[in-house]
Amino acid sequence: HRTPDRRVRSNGEVLEQPPLVVTQFDENYAPAVQSISASQREYCRVQGCQWRAVNITKKGRHQDTADFLRARHPSWHKVLILRQALHHHRFVAWIDSDALIVNTNVSFVQYFDNAPPEVGVVISRDMGYSLSDHRKLGSLMINTGVILARRSAWTMRYLDELLHAVEYTKYYHAVNPEQVAMRVELCRAPQHFKVLDDGLLQWRHDSRGGSATKEEVAAFVRRGGFVYHTMGGLAAKAQDMVGVGSGGRG
């Protein structure tokens, strides 16, 4: 499914596209795309968003990737995909392909409602680090499994710099490469980021290898949670989670 170009009225006026939810998948995640993407498609149906899944498997690589990214870790593609999507959509939600949207009542755009106008990215702290770890590091570690972006001059420039600036070449093959690179800018220009520390934007469940029960996810939804990030778990019961948040709090 592909996002269409901007719509244009007969008088030449450009109409903004609805908010977009976008993900990508490669060979490792292709078998689970149907169940994982079902939650994203259902969310978009309820919220009136558009949805796009980018294929970066070897079969689809030439069509959906840029030459300059071929030598980098696949995680870097999300930066380019976000940059391209913001040309057509003012609000874009990046959701990793191992993450389920479990609360259809939460509009991701609402995360910007109380944010200062200079905020271009909403992201969550990495729950894999304890609060004491964060204090030792001096700033929040972030998790880029869910990235909410709002188009602005800063956001477009920032994503361009992530893709092309020489200072980020050392992160091309790092562990969680684009995540580390994004944190550099977070430390440099925190006013452009809204970092959520309540564990509700996305939640991971570690005690059983990332696999939570439906009851645990439902409890997360009742607290106002949005995305259940399986962190690669991709349990067979992922399909059972679709729609679990239909009665959750918006």
Q: pLDDT (tens digit, 9 = 90+) per residue, 220-241?
A: 899 999 998 875 555 444 555 5
35 backbone dihedrals φ, ψ, rounded to 5°? -75, -40
Nearest to 231 by CA among 29, 26, 20: 29
What is the average per-residue pLDDT within 8-20?
65
The residues, any chain, with a CB within 8 Å of residue 150's CB and separated by 6 or more, are: 90, 91, 112, 119, 120, 121, 122
Q: pLDDT (tens digit, 9 = 90+) per residue, 69-124?
A: 777 877 888 899 999 999 999 999 999 888 889 899 999 999 999 899 999 999 98
CA separation for the pair 181, 167 (Å, rounded): 9
Q: What's the pTM?
A: 0.82
Q: pLDDT (tens digit, 9 = 90+) per residue, 177-223?
A: 888 888 888 888 989 999 887 788 988 765 445 567 788 888 989 99
